[in-house]
Structure formats: structure tokens, C-alpha cells
Structure 1
Amino acid sequence: MGINDERDIEANLQIGPTDHGQVRLFIDAGQFEVPMDFTPEEAEEIAEEILAAAKAARLVKR
């Protein structure tokens, strides 16, 4: 399975700071909960990657 493979799974994403100075991405997909903690610097890198992906996605011809 790759990034272009579609799945029929519903999930919720929450993003926020933790009380330990980390940034948490929390994914809730029914039976599965995935907390992912990052340093603020790592979170900024992820944000830059998301922005770059959004920019590239706008260029895709449908």
C-alpha cells in the first residue's frame, strides 16, 4: 500500500501542544488511537512538508 492507495477508513486528526512541550498529532480511527509526539522543530518541518505537498497537489491536473 502506498500514499496513492485509497482506503475506506474514517479517522479524526487532532493537533495540539502537550504539557511536556511537545506537539502531538493524535489520530483516532475507531479501534485505533495513534498519538505521535514531536519537538516544536520537528513539527515545523512537518508543517513545511504539508505546505509543499499542498502546493504540489494544486499543480496536479485532474
Structure 2
Amino acid sequence: MGINDEQDIAANLQIGPTDRGFVRIFVATQDGLEIPMDFDPDEALEIAEEIRSAAEAARGSARRKGRPKSS
């Protein structure tokens, strides 16, 4: 499975601080699989920047393919 492979898996994503000073990304599937991932605040900010960068790249890719800009 790669980043461009489509999947028929539905999941719920939650992101928030923990009481121990970490940022938790929590993924839960309909099948009951739960994946908690804890990051220190600096790591979380790096992940946020990677997400922002990927979003900008995806936006540029969509424009080059003639897809309308979403509002």
C-alpha cells in the first residue's frame, strides 16, 4: 500500500493534547482498531508543517490538472 493507493477503510481521526504534555493523534477504525500516537510538542509542530506543505503541494497539483479551487 502506498500513499496514492485508494482504500475502502473508514476511520475516525482525533488530535489533541494529553495530560502528560504530549500531542496525541488517535485513529480508530470501524473494525475496532485503535492507534494512539503520541508526539512531543516539537515533533507535533514538525508534523503540522509537513501536513501544511503536503496540502500546498496537493493544491498546486489540482490546479495544474484543471481542477477548480475549492472554497
TM-score normalized by the length of structure 2: 0.84
Moved more, 40-49 or 24-33: 24-33
The total of aligned residue pairs comes to 62
Q: Which has the higher strand share?
A: 1
| Percentage of identical aligned residues | 68
State the match for 1:56 in structure 2. Answer: 57
What is the CA distance between 1:59 and its match in structure 2?
Answer: 1.0
State the match for 1:27 in structure 2. Answer: 27
Q: Distance in 2 between matches of 1:51 and 1:59?
A: 12
What amino acid is aligned across from residue 25 of structure 2 in structure 1?
L
TM-score normalized by the length of structure 1: 0.95
Over aligned residue pairs, what C-alpha RMSD do you find? 0.8
Structure 1: 4+ residue segments shifted above 2 A = none
